[in-house]
Amino acid sequence: MVVSVSAGKIRQHISAIASGFLGDWLEARGNGLAVPMTVFAGGKVLDADNPELAEPGSTLCLSLHGLMELESVWDFPGRAKEHYGSQLARALGDTSALKLRFNSGRPIYRNGQDLADLMERLVVDWPVPVKRVILLGHSMGGLLVRSACYYGSAKGHSWVGKSLDCVYIGSPHDGSWLAIGAHKAAGKLNKVPRDYVKVVGEVIDLRSEGIRNLSRGEVFEPGTEEQPLLSGARHFAVSGLLVKSERHPVNVWFGDALVHRSSAHGVRRQGWELTGKVNFPGVDHVRLARHPIVSKQLQEWLV
Protein backbone atom coordinates (compact mmCIF):
# COMPACT_ATOMS: atom_id res chain seq x y z
CA MET A 1 0.00 0.00 0.00
CA VAL A 2 1.36 3.37 -0.93
CA VAL A 3 0.77 6.06 1.64
CA SER A 4 1.04 9.56 0.29
CA VAL A 5 1.15 12.51 2.64
CA SER A 6 0.98 15.95 1.10
CA ALA A 7 3.54 18.61 1.94
CA GLY A 8 0.70 20.74 3.29
CA LYS A 9 -0.26 18.02 5.77
CA ILE A 10 3.33 17.64 6.92
CA ARG A 11 3.56 21.38 7.46
CA GLN A 12 0.32 21.37 9.44
CA HIS A 13 1.63 18.60 11.67
CA ILE A 14 4.95 20.41 12.18
CA SER A 15 2.99 23.51 13.18
CA ALA A 16 0.79 21.49 15.56
CA ILE A 17 3.78 19.84 17.24
CA ALA A 18 5.77 23.08 17.45
CA SER A 19 2.70 24.85 18.85
CA GLY A 20 2.22 22.13 21.44
CA PHE A 21 5.82 22.37 22.63
CA LEU A 22 6.34 26.11 22.36
CA GLY A 23 2.95 27.57 21.41
CA ASP A 24 2.94 30.42 23.92
CA TRP A 25 6.47 31.45 22.94
CA LEU A 26 5.67 31.20 19.21
CA GLU A 27 2.60 33.35 19.67
CA ALA A 28 4.50 35.98 21.66
CA ARG A 29 7.06 36.19 18.84
CA GLY A 30 4.44 36.36 16.11
CA ASN A 31 5.99 33.20 14.65
CA GLY A 32 4.26 31.78 11.57
CA LEU A 33 4.27 28.27 13.07
CA ALA A 34 1.78 29.27 15.79
CA VAL A 35 -1.57 27.69 14.98
CA PRO A 36 -4.50 30.14 15.01
CA MET A 37 -7.86 29.04 16.46
CA THR A 38 -9.94 27.93 13.48
CA VAL A 39 -13.30 26.20 13.00
CA PHE A 40 -13.74 23.67 10.23
CA ALA A 41 -16.92 22.36 8.66
CA GLY A 42 -16.58 19.48 6.22
CA GLY A 43 -12.84 20.05 5.97
CA LYS A 44 -13.18 23.72 5.07
CA VAL A 45 -12.44 26.75 7.20
CA LEU A 46 -15.58 28.35 8.59
CA ASP A 47 -15.78 32.06 9.27
CA ALA A 48 -17.27 32.28 12.76
CA ASP A 49 -18.60 35.79 12.07
CA ASN A 50 -20.26 34.77 8.84
CA PRO A 51 -20.79 31.02 8.87
CA GLU A 52 -21.94 29.83 5.48
CA LEU A 53 -22.94 26.18 5.15
CA ALA A 54 -25.07 24.38 2.61
CA GLU A 55 -27.35 22.89 5.27
CA PRO A 56 -26.82 24.48 8.69
CA GLY A 57 -28.36 22.44 11.51
CA SER A 58 -29.92 23.68 14.73
CA THR A 59 -27.51 21.46 16.69
CA LEU A 60 -23.80 22.25 16.66
CA CYS A 61 -21.40 19.41 17.38
CA LEU A 62 -17.87 20.74 17.86
CA SER A 63 -14.89 18.37 18.23
CA LEU A 64 -11.74 19.64 19.97
CA HIS A 65 -8.40 17.86 19.58
CA GLY A 66 -5.67 17.45 22.20
CA LEU A 67 -2.07 18.54 22.72
CA MET A 68 0.03 18.68 19.52
CA GLU A 69 -2.82 17.22 17.54
CA LEU A 70 -4.82 18.44 14.57
CA GLU A 71 -8.54 18.11 13.87
CA SER A 72 -7.64 15.09 11.72
CA VAL A 73 -7.08 13.04 14.92
CA TRP A 74 -10.86 12.45 14.92
CA ASP A 75 -10.98 10.86 11.45
CA PHE A 76 -11.50 7.12 11.33
CA PRO A 77 -8.58 5.49 9.51
CA GLY A 78 -9.37 4.82 5.86
CA ARG A 79 -12.75 6.52 6.07
CA ALA A 80 -12.49 10.07 4.84
CA LYS A 81 -14.55 12.66 6.73
CA GLU A 82 -15.94 10.00 9.07
CA HIS A 83 -15.67 10.97 12.73
CA TYR A 84 -17.76 11.00 15.91
CA GLY A 85 -19.26 14.36 14.97
CA SER A 86 -20.32 13.29 11.47
CA GLN A 87 -21.77 10.04 12.84
CA LEU A 88 -23.74 11.94 15.50
CA ALA A 89 -24.92 14.43 12.87
CA ARG A 90 -26.22 11.59 10.74
CA ALA A 91 -28.00 9.94 13.67
CA LEU A 92 -29.44 13.13 15.15
CA GLY A 93 -30.32 14.92 11.90
CA ASP A 94 -30.47 18.73 11.67
CA THR A 95 -26.92 18.80 13.07
CA SER A 96 -23.75 20.47 11.85
CA ALA A 97 -20.51 18.66 12.64
CA LEU A 98 -17.68 21.11 13.24
CA LYS A 99 -14.06 20.71 14.27
CA LEU A 100 -11.72 23.10 16.04
CA ARG A 101 -8.01 23.61 15.50
CA PHE A 102 -6.09 25.57 18.12
CA ASN A 103 -2.64 26.36 19.47
CA SER A 104 -2.34 23.71 22.19
CA GLY A 105 0.76 25.27 23.76
CA ARG A 106 -1.07 28.37 24.95
CA PRO A 107 -2.35 28.36 28.53
CA ILE A 108 -5.62 26.42 28.58
CA TYR A 109 -7.53 29.28 30.19
CA ARG A 110 -6.59 31.63 27.35
CA ASN A 111 -7.76 29.15 24.76
CA GLY A 112 -10.89 28.68 26.89
CA GLN A 113 -11.60 32.39 26.87
CA ASP A 114 -11.10 32.59 23.11
CA LEU A 115 -13.23 29.51 22.50
CA ALA A 116 -16.06 30.92 24.63
CA ASP A 117 -16.01 34.11 22.53
CA LEU A 118 -15.80 32.15 19.29
CA MET A 119 -18.75 29.96 20.30
CA GLU A 120 -20.79 33.03 21.10
CA ARG A 121 -20.06 34.59 17.70
CA LEU A 122 -20.81 31.31 15.99
CA VAL A 123 -24.15 30.79 17.78
CA VAL A 124 -25.26 34.40 17.36
CA ASP A 125 -24.37 34.49 13.65
CA TRP A 126 -25.49 30.96 12.85
CA PRO A 127 -27.91 30.96 9.86
CA VAL A 128 -30.64 29.13 11.85
CA PRO A 129 -31.52 29.35 15.57
CA VAL A 130 -29.24 27.06 17.57
CA LYS A 131 -31.09 24.78 19.98
CA ARG A 132 -28.40 22.38 21.10
CA VAL A 133 -24.61 22.38 21.44
CA ILE A 134 -22.47 19.24 21.78
CA LEU A 135 -18.79 19.64 22.67
CA LEU A 136 -16.50 16.63 22.24
CA GLY A 137 -13.03 17.12 23.73
CA HIS A 138 -10.17 14.69 23.34
CA SER A 139 -7.41 14.88 25.95
CA MET A 140 -6.51 18.57 26.41
CA GLY A 141 -9.59 19.38 24.30
CA GLY A 142 -11.78 18.20 27.19
CA LEU A 143 -10.04 20.60 29.57
CA LEU A 144 -10.59 23.34 27.01
CA VAL A 145 -14.32 22.52 27.00
CA ARG A 146 -14.47 22.98 30.79
CA SER A 147 -12.56 26.23 30.55
CA ALA A 148 -14.77 27.60 27.77
CA CYS A 149 -17.93 26.65 29.70
CA TYR A 150 -16.71 28.55 32.75
CA TYR A 151 -15.73 31.68 30.81
CA GLY A 152 -18.86 31.53 28.65
CA SER A 153 -20.99 31.37 31.77
CA ALA A 154 -19.00 34.13 33.49
CA LYS A 155 -19.48 36.40 30.47
CA GLY A 156 -23.19 35.61 30.22
CA HIS A 157 -22.87 34.06 26.77
CA SER A 158 -26.02 32.70 25.19
CA TRP A 159 -24.45 29.44 23.99
CA VAL A 160 -24.00 28.06 27.52
CA GLY A 161 -27.75 28.45 28.02
CA LYS A 162 -28.57 26.13 25.12
CA SER A 163 -29.11 22.43 25.65
CA LEU A 164 -25.45 21.63 26.24
CA ASP A 165 -23.63 18.30 26.28
CA CYS A 166 -19.93 18.08 27.15
CA VAL A 167 -17.99 14.89 26.52
CA TYR A 168 -14.49 14.52 27.93
CA ILE A 169 -12.57 11.78 26.13
CA GLY A 170 -9.32 10.78 27.83
CA SER A 171 -9.02 14.22 29.41
CA PRO A 172 -6.54 14.57 32.30
CA HIS A 173 -8.77 16.47 34.76
CA ASP A 174 -6.44 15.57 37.63
CA GLY A 175 -3.31 15.78 35.49
CA SER A 176 -1.38 13.45 33.21
CA TRP A 177 1.29 11.22 34.76
CA LEU A 178 3.72 12.21 32.00
CA ALA A 179 3.24 15.95 32.55
CA ILE A 180 3.45 15.46 36.32
CA GLY A 181 6.63 13.39 35.84
CA ALA A 182 8.20 16.03 33.60
CA HIS A 183 7.38 18.73 36.17
CA LYS A 184 8.91 16.75 39.04
CA ALA A 185 11.95 15.64 37.03
CA ALA A 186 12.73 19.20 35.94
CA GLY A 187 12.42 20.45 39.52
CA LYS A 188 14.73 17.76 40.89
CA LEU A 189 17.33 18.01 38.11
CA ASN A 190 17.50 21.79 38.42
CA LYS A 191 18.53 21.43 42.08
CA VAL A 192 21.55 19.19 41.34
CA PRO A 193 24.76 21.29 41.56
CA ARG A 194 26.16 19.94 38.29
CA ASP A 195 25.76 21.89 35.07
CA TYR A 196 25.44 18.78 32.89
CA VAL A 197 22.48 17.60 35.01
CA LYS A 198 20.90 21.03 35.23
CA VAL A 199 20.89 21.32 31.44
CA VAL A 200 18.66 18.24 31.19
CA GLY A 201 16.26 19.86 33.67
CA GLU A 202 16.29 23.08 31.68
CA VAL A 203 15.55 21.24 28.43
CA ILE A 204 12.55 19.57 30.08
CA ASP A 205 11.55 23.01 31.34
CA LEU A 206 11.27 24.29 27.76
CA ARG A 207 7.73 22.90 27.61
CA SER A 208 4.85 25.28 26.92
CA GLU A 209 2.28 26.65 29.37
CA GLY A 210 -0.26 24.31 27.81
CA ILE A 211 1.84 21.28 28.76
CA ARG A 212 2.41 22.71 32.23
CA ASN A 213 -1.35 23.08 32.69
CA LEU A 214 -1.69 19.36 31.95
CA SER A 215 0.36 18.43 35.01
CA ARG A 216 -2.51 19.50 37.28
CA GLY A 217 -5.41 19.79 34.88
CA GLU A 218 -5.47 23.57 35.26
CA VAL A 219 -8.16 25.21 33.15
CA PHE A 220 -8.73 28.56 34.89
CA GLU A 221 -6.71 31.75 35.08
CA PRO A 222 -4.18 31.63 37.95
CA GLY A 223 -5.82 32.90 41.14
CA THR A 224 -9.27 31.65 40.17
CA GLU A 225 -10.89 29.27 42.64
CA GLU A 226 -11.70 25.73 41.57
CA GLN A 227 -15.03 25.83 39.73
CA PRO A 228 -17.63 23.06 39.55
CA LEU A 229 -18.83 21.62 36.26
CA LEU A 230 -21.24 23.93 34.48
CA SER A 231 -24.70 23.35 35.93
CA GLY A 232 -27.53 22.87 33.47
CA ALA A 233 -25.28 20.96 31.08
CA ARG A 234 -24.76 17.23 30.84
CA HIS A 235 -21.21 15.99 31.34
CA PHE A 236 -19.80 12.65 30.23
CA ALA A 237 -16.34 11.17 30.77
CA VAL A 238 -14.64 8.49 28.69
CA SER A 239 -11.40 6.79 29.65
CA GLY A 240 -9.26 4.09 28.07
CA LEU A 241 -6.63 1.62 29.22
CA LEU A 242 -3.67 0.19 27.35
CA VAL A 243 -4.34 -3.45 28.20
CA LYS A 244 -7.68 -5.29 28.12
CA SER A 245 -7.22 -6.78 31.55
CA GLU A 246 -8.29 -3.88 33.77
CA ARG A 247 -5.99 -4.60 36.72
CA HIS A 248 -2.91 -5.25 34.63
CA PRO A 249 0.14 -3.44 36.08
CA VAL A 250 0.62 -1.60 32.77
CA ASN A 251 -2.82 -0.01 33.21
CA VAL A 252 -2.06 0.86 36.82
CA TRP A 253 1.17 2.58 35.80
CA PHE A 254 0.25 4.20 32.50
CA GLY A 255 -3.55 4.24 32.16
CA ASP A 256 -4.37 4.80 28.49
CA ALA A 257 -0.64 5.62 27.87
CA LEU A 258 -0.89 9.23 29.03
CA VAL A 259 -3.91 9.55 31.32
CA HIS A 260 -5.08 7.36 34.20
CA ARG A 261 -8.71 6.36 34.45
CA SER A 262 -9.16 8.22 37.76
CA SER A 263 -7.86 11.43 36.17
CA ALA A 264 -10.08 11.03 33.10
CA HIS A 265 -13.09 10.68 35.43
CA GLY A 266 -12.01 13.63 37.59
CA VAL A 267 -12.07 11.54 40.77
CA ARG A 268 -10.17 14.16 42.77
CA ARG A 269 -12.36 17.06 41.63
CA GLN A 270 -14.73 18.42 44.24
CA GLY A 271 -18.48 18.24 43.73
CA TRP A 272 -18.42 16.69 40.27
CA GLU A 273 -21.63 15.12 39.04
CA LEU A 274 -21.07 13.32 35.78
CA THR A 275 -24.15 12.28 33.82
CA GLY A 276 -22.25 9.28 32.54
CA LYS A 277 -18.79 7.78 32.63
CA VAL A 278 -17.30 4.76 30.96
CA ASN A 279 -13.97 2.98 30.72
CA PHE A 280 -12.68 1.03 27.72
CA PRO A 281 -9.81 -1.35 28.57
CA GLY A 282 -7.67 -2.06 25.51
CA VAL A 283 -8.29 1.33 23.88
CA ASP A 284 -5.27 3.62 24.13
CA HIS A 285 -5.17 7.40 24.38
CA VAL A 286 -5.04 8.28 20.68
CA ARG A 287 -7.48 5.58 19.57
CA LEU A 288 -10.04 6.94 22.04
CA ALA A 289 -10.54 9.74 19.50
CA ARG A 290 -11.60 7.36 16.73
CA HIS A 291 -12.81 4.02 18.00
CA PRO A 292 -16.08 2.32 17.06
CA ILE A 293 -16.78 1.30 20.66
CA VAL A 294 -16.50 4.92 21.81
CA SER A 295 -18.69 6.02 18.91
CA LYS A 296 -21.36 3.53 19.98
CA GLN A 297 -21.25 4.88 23.53
CA LEU A 298 -21.60 8.47 22.30
CA GLN A 299 -24.64 7.47 20.26
CA GLU A 300 -26.20 5.92 23.38
CA TRP A 301 -25.58 9.03 25.43
CA LEU A 302 -26.35 11.75 22.94
CA VAL A 303 -28.87 10.45 20.40
Q: Return residues touching another protein (CB under 8 A).
A: 11, 14-15, 18, 22, 24-34, 186, 190, 194-196, 198-199, 202-203, 205-206
State the nearest-atom distance from the C-beta of 204 to another protein, in Å. 10
Judged by beta carbon, residue 22 or residue 160, the one nearer another protein is 22
What are the angstrom distances between the C-alpha of 132 and each of 36, 158, 163, 204? 26, 11, 5, 42
Compute the distance between CA of residue 301 and CA of residue 295 in angstroms, rounded to an integer. 10
Measured from the CB atom, the residue of 22 and 148 that comes closer to another protein is 22
Do residues 106 and 113 make contact, with C-beta atoms less than 8 angstroms apart?
Answer: no
**Residue 38 φ then ψ, to 5°:** -140, 140
Q: How far is the CB of 238 from another protein (least distance, A)?
A: 33
Distance CA 90, CA 113 (A): 30
Specify the residue, 201 or 281, whose C-beta has the smaller distance to another protein.
Answer: 201
The C-alpha atoms of residue 219 and residue 139 are separated, in whole angstroms, by 13
For the CB of residue 177, give the shortest distance to another protein in the complex, in Å.
21
Least Å distance between CB 59 and another protein? 33
Taking the complex as a whole, how short is the minimal distance between the CB of residue 20 and another protein, in angstroms? Answer: 13
Nearer Cβ to another protein (198/287): 198
Taking the complex as a whole, how short is the minimal distance between the CB of residue 143 and another protein, in angstroms?
21
For another protein, the closer of residues 200 and 243 by Cβ is 200
Nearer to another protein, 25 or 301 (CB): 25
